Structure 1
Amino acid sequence: MARRNQHSREELRGLAIQAVRDLVVEHGLEKLSVRKVADRIGYTAGMLYHVFSNLDDLILNANADTLAQLLDAMTEPADRSARDQLHHMAAVYVAMAREQTALWKMVFMHQMQNAAEVPGWYLEKTAALFARVEHSMAQLAGGQSHEQIHLAARTLWGSVHGIAVLAADDKLVVAGDVNEQAMIESLLQHYLNSWAGE
């Protein structure tokens, strides 16, 4: 690794974000601190505060990488049907919850300290997920208003998220040890049939 004074600001930012991801996978979000991130990459905590405003800023930047990975994996060829796209997105979402649990939880469970507002740049990234769901759902029900599509996308994805939480926490045994992908298929089949008026 390069010596400290050989890292540019952007390189330091990348090192810190990767350290956040590694530490959360190894020890969990609750044990994360700016000092631990700094120690991992051989810098002082004070130096990191020149790049990130606080621990929340560090976490949100790490989460942005996870969201980008999630959205990239969700991308389906444009010629696939809207139903196929939604099924693929849901399967990817639940798979990440199961296979990259710590990073997935950091995205969806992190709470800003001192009730601080989530910055606009990050809200835009999370909105991209719902925009993709809305786009596919709009193709299944002509004539629905923007407000109806907005609500339906969040209702459907809230249900997918609930299954993902159960899968991530290995709590599906409470539901009779049902396979999470089978639950997703059942949810989407019935919800989308209703949504499309079938």
Structure 2
Amino acid sequence: MSIQERRAREREERRDCILQAAQAIIAEEGIEKLSVRKIASRIEYSPSLIYHYFQDKEEILHHLMGGVYKAILEAIAPYQFSEEPPEEKIKASTRKYIEMALQMPDAYKAIMLSSVPGTLAHTSILFKDARQKRPALGMLCQYLEELGWENEEQIERTAQVYWCATFGLIIRMITEKDLDHMQIERLIENYLHFILGGIQQSVTCRKEEQ
């Protein structure tokens, strides 16, 4: 390994160490409590060394949010190209999203409940035309279109409400930590049955009106 390669690897290892420390602080104390000084203290670096790798706390948050979102997208993206019926794609991708969130409960809760502007730049979902900037929401809108929905604004609002309902279920399951695996599975299954039933009924009613 050349000197340049070794230095590049060491740089990446230090960046990863900083990001892992930041994620741990967020999970334990919340995003509002995150600071460069706390990160430095946790990994026994000087604050000036942290600034050598990241411009500021906002850049650290940007990398963390990007990493979390990328992992979720990579997990649910394959369903987008599946030949399964759209309702099955909604069901499978939603289940995968819930499972991933439950694998990182503290970090997910801290990030998704944060009102810090830098975090909301990644997590906000209710603004108009959000499907253009939030690929996961765009996938859900695509599935609704495949089900027969035609009004673009109605499709996006339905996808946004669906996401909020899913988020609410996840937060409750994270908050009520003592739920056993079987109960979690039953809750997810009942939720999907209830929500998809409503979506399908809405599609049927719209077709009858036409």
Q: What range is the shorter-chain TM-score in?
A: 0.7 to 0.9
Q: Tell me how far apart the structure 1 counterparts of residues 168 and 68 of structure 2 sit (CA, whole Å).
A: 19
Query: Structure 1-normalised TM-score?
Result: 0.75
SS at match of 2:134: helix
Tell me if 1:162 matches 2:195: no
Unaligned runs of 5+ in 1: none
Aligned partner of 1:146 among 152, 171, 186: 152
SS in 2 for 1:49: helix
Q: Does 1:92 align with 2:99?
A: no
In structure 2, what is the equivalent of residue 132 of structure 1?
139
RMSD across aligned C-alpha pairs, in angstroms? Answer: 3.4
> 2:189: which partner in 1?
182
Show structure 2 runs of 5+ residues with no match: 1-5, 206-210
Greater Cα shift, 90-99 or 129-138? 90-99
* Contact 1:87-1:188 within 8 A present in 2 as well: no
Question: Pick from 187, 194, 197: which aligns with 2:201?
Answer: 194
Instruction: Indicate the structure (1 or 2) with the bigger Cα radius of gyration.
Output: 2
Which digits, 9 at most, give the CA deviation of each residue in 1:64-113, with x for residues without a partner?
1111111112232522221111111211222233331012123312222x
What secondary structure, in the 3-state scheme, does the structure 1 residue paired with 2:20 have? helix
Amino acid in structure 1 at the alignment position of 2:20: Q
How many residue pairs get aligned? The number is 186
Output one character per residue of 1:144-170: Cα deviation in whole Å (capped at 9) or x when no partner.
122111111111111111111111111
Match of 1:80 among 81, 84, 92: 84
Hey, what does 1:61 align to over in structure 2?
63
CA distance in 2, matches of 1:117, 1:102: 15
Alignment of 1:109-124 (within 5 A): 109-112=113-116, 119=121
Larger helix proportion, structure 1 or 2?
2
Report the 3-state secondary structure (helix = DSSP H, G, I; strand = E; otherwise coil) of the residue aligned with 1:78.
Answer: coil
Distance in 1 separating the partners of 2:58 and 2:73: 22
